[in-house]
Structure 1
Amino acid sequence: MSTQTEDGIPLSFVAEHDRKHFRLLELPPEILTLLISDTPPILELKSSGIQGADDAGTAVLCTHDKTFNLRQKNSSNTVYLLQPHSRSDFIAGSTLQAIAQCHSSLELTATNPSDGSALDHMKTVLPIYSSTGLAASSSLNQRALFNLIPYSEQECLQAFRELAAFAQPSTDHVYRPSAALAVQAWQNILTTVVAQGVDLNRPLTASALTSLIDADSESEAVIAQAILDLFTNPTADGMAFDQPDRCVLWVGRQLLEAEAARNEIPSRVFLEKWKDLLPEKWRPLADLSTLAAVSQSSDGGKSIMLKGAVAAASTPAQSIVAASAAGNKRKWHEKFRPSKK
């Protein structure tokens, strides 16, 4: 037991084998401000549920819409945690006792886009739904899916939307449409647009938007709805396709994956097919240069192909879904165990 001067506060130390185990977490100002607000949010501690993923051994802390990496930081300083302590020879609560010693702390850092995104993770998890059948069966609903993705709720929702993902009506299991099925769904929407003389440059009422869905099955209908949800936003006058260039680019990417995932296609032929999938006023927006990030050309630009080896039928999601169903135990917490001295 240490000694103190008469005007100091008596301090004692719990025996080492009786000390409690704590981890210190350094909070960035952004998180601290949220926690001390009048309505503090619920924070989530998450890790990747994807087997073999590079970040499977890491953890993140999520607010509703942001994700922070959690990293252990060792310190050469000796840090003790103190709490008020009562002793018979002092006034109650007037002494302190060291109940734990921390050799390291955890710090939070904002995620770096170069490390990946919720969209990248979700692509590897979601089974592909195609017109010829399922690439992999799914036992995941949307909540179970989001639990596997080490990103915030809002980032997961945005990724789900960007993939035009959907829940199968009969099972509530989630999938993403194959590129070919997405192109077909969009083509059906466009056919209805042309037949009804709809101008997509003007806001549409909710009923007018719903009338654009002409599908033969529930699954086709929910895929079409997912595509419309992706590109329409509410305005004072109704729902509007307020970013035609974004929609045009998406159609081009889906067509490229559907038509040129394994074999080159003449650039001229591809461009014509792309334009044929667009309303007349949007056709000038189809430009091969906008696909540079996902395409590769050859023969002096006369041929085009999807960049990289993409096999639409490959199913990394199968092992992920199976691991989830089997109650896969993630060991990310072991990374943050106190290091031995």
Structure 2
Amino acid sequence: MSDMIDVRFSPSTTQDAGSFRLIELPSELCQLIESTTNAPCHAKPSLCIKGNIAEDAVLCTTDKTYTLRSVVLSNTLLVTTPSRTDPGGTVNVRDRLHEVLELVPSVPKLHKLPVLLKGAQYDEGDEDQRAAFVKYCYNQASSEIQASEAEFQQGLKEKRILVLDGYLRPIVPAHLSTILELILSYTVTLSLSCQAAEVEELVSTLADEHEVPREVSAQIISWFGTVKEGLWEIDIRAVVAEIGLEILRHHKHEPIVESDFLSKWKNKIGDTFEAFVALELLTGNYLRSDDTSGGATLTYFPASGLPTDPAARFTELFLTKQRWKSNDIEPFLLDIAINSKERDKLLLKYARAITAPESTWYTSRVGYNN
């Protein structure tokens, strides 16, 4: 005969109603927690829920972000605790749950950073005017931005945001490009190895010859390669791409002939590194048009400047071009889709595929007037 347990409604049921939430863990997160059950406190995974009242909540681990999504249950779940007076034979119902919170992998919500940091840009000569900028500190941003710590740090790197005296300072693109040009130049003149350039020598040279603060140049160097034991393995392609991007930024409203652009780009890079110049480095930042007798033209069109909401993103894309080749549209979806599977779902939802012998084309499922 099975043991009998009395189920009673706790006197605090009314008070506790709505106090409990049940979260369904994805397999990778469940395995992470189980694998560290007996680990010391400092080695246990860090879980944090972020989001203000106007945002959908997300759960962040040290390196991933999950959107919290409510799923209605067909059956009611009871939250029970043992009775204090009869712990072996009676349980008290504390709450009744009609939904479960599901964790869905999502891209980090870094789009707020440029808005929050308006007025905090760092430019040449700003080292003497640090009290004048809009102040937003690292710790505040890290706690408010809906991203894991690893994703947040990667976001600062990709968005070219310096951390100076604990505050976030986006570097002005033109100034960054100038510093990178100097770095490439000194790499050659100082006969430094691109696989193991001495960071101290570069940082000191930039400070002495061009008054670039050491903390600024050191962070920039860390953005474009790997620093280990004072030696820098330079990501030449990333450096070349950033310099090319700065040239392209001046052609948002006025297209530039592709051959002219490539010529300007190579001139900025110099003979030693011009072989690295390739239009593919700037994928997701331009539109290319062949409809001109003067040759193909390029227009600055960055994915980072498009809406983060998928519906609004596709509206913007199809208002810009009525038809997109698959290879052309995919780079403009990377920052709103966690993976290729999620990207394909978005394309299926918002676009209509047309298969042609040379490529797959996408058009809008909604008619727009250009």
TM-score tier, shorter chain, comes to 0.7 to 0.9
Q: 2:186 & 2:272 partners in 1: Cα distance? A: 16
- Which residue among 227, 240, 244 is the counterpart of 2:233? 240
2:269 counterpart SS class: coil
The separation in 2 between residues aligned to 1:132 and 1:296, in whole angstroms, is: 34
Query: Matches of 1:101 and 1:149 in 2, distance apart?
Result: 33
The match for 1:307 is 301
**Aligned residue for 1:326?**
none
Among 159, 162, 180, the alignment partner of 1:166 is 162
Return the letter of the residue paired with 2:223: L
What is the SS of the residue equivalent to 2:206? coil
Output the CA distance in 2 between the equivalents of 1:212 and 1:262.
38
Q: Distance in 2 between matches of 1:143 and 1:184?
A: 29
1:52 corresponds to which residue?
A: none
For residues 156-189 of structure 1, what are the alpha-carbon distances to aligned partners after superposition, in whole Å with 9 as ceiling and x for unaligned?
00111122311345xx421111221111121222
Q: 1:218-257 to 2 correspondence within 5 Å? A: 221-234=214-227, 238-241=231-234, 243-257=235-249
Residue 321 of structure 2: aligned partner: none
Structure 1: 5+ residue stretches without partners? 50-55, 312-341
Return the offset for 1:203. 1.1
Higher relative contact order (CA 8 A, sep 6+): 1
- 1:288 equivalent in alignment to 2:279: yes
**Mean CA deviation greater in 259-268 or 71-80:** 259-268
Task: With the length of structure 1 as denominator, give the TM-score of the two structures.
Answer: 0.72
Mapping of residues 25-40 of structure 1, within 5 Å: 25-36=23-34, 37=36, 38=39, 39-40=43-44
Q: Which ranges in structure 2 are unaligned for 5 or more consecutive residues?
A: 306-370
Of the three residues 94, 99, 118, the one matched with 2:94 is 99
Hey, what does 1:157 align to over in structure 2? 153
What is the distance in 2 between the residues matched to 1:204 and 1:17? 67
Q: Quick one: which of 57, 60, 74 aligns to 2:58?
A: 60
Q: What do residues 59-100 of structure 1 show as CA deviations (whole Å, max 9, x unaligned)?
A: 11111111111111121211111111145xxx5532112121
Residue identity over aligned pairs, in percent, reads 23
SS of alignment partner, residue 277 of structure 1: helix
Change (3 A) 1:62 1:309: closer
In the TM superposition, residue 110 of structure 1 has moved relative to its aligned partner by: 1.1
Given the alignment of the two structures, is residue 81 of structure 1 paired with residue 79 of structure 2, yes or no? yes
The alignment status of 1:46 with 2:56, answered yes or no, reads no
Q: Is the 8 A contact 1:164 1:177 kept in 2?
A: yes
Letter in 1 for 2:176: A
Query: Is the 1:190–1:277 Cα contact (8 Å) retained in structure 2?
Result: no
Matched, 1:190 2:155: no
Helix, strand or coil at the partner of 1:129: coil
In 1, the alpha carbon distance for the partners of 2:284 and 2:304 equals: 14
User: Structure 1 residue 256: deviation in Å?
Assistant: 1.5
CA contact (8 A) 2:24 2:102 kept: yes
Q: Partner amino acid for 1:195?
A: T
- Give distance in 1, aligned partners of 2:304 and 2:125: 18
My pick for the range that moved more, 38-47 or 298-307, is: 298-307
Instruction: Report SS of the residue matched to 1:42.
Output: coil
Q: Give distance in 1, aligned partners of 2:225 and 2:302.
A: 31
SS at match of 1:45: strand
Task: Give secondary structure in 2 for the equivalent of 1:93.
Answer: coil
Please list the CA deviations of residues 95-143 of structure 1 after superposition, one character each: whole Å capped at 9, or x if unmatched: 11212111222111111x4xxx455443443333344979x94211111
Cα gap change, 1:137 to 1:153, in 2 (>3 Å): same
Q: How far apart are the structure 2 equivalents of 1:92 and 1:268? A: 81
The alpha carbon displacement at 1:251 in A equals 2.2
C-alpha root-mean-square deviation of aligned residues, in Å? 3.2
> Aligned to 1:140, what secondary structure does the other structure show?
coil
- Alignment pair present for 1:208 and 2:193: no
CA contact (8 A) 1:47 1:60 kept: yes
Q: Using a 3 Å threshold, how does the CA distance of structure 1 residues 236 and 138 change in structure 2: closer, same or farther?
A: closer
- Distance in 1 (CA, whole Å) between partners of 2:69 and 2:211 is 48
Does structure 1 retain, via aligned residues, the 8 Å contact 2:79–2:94? yes
Task: Tell me the amino acid that sits aligned with residue 158 of structure 1.
Answer: Q
TM-score by length of 2: 0.67
Residue of structure 1 in register with 2:358 after alignment:
none
Residue 269 (structure 1) aligned with residue 260 (structure 2): yes
Q: Deviations over 1:224-244 (max 9, x none)?
A: 333211112145893211x32
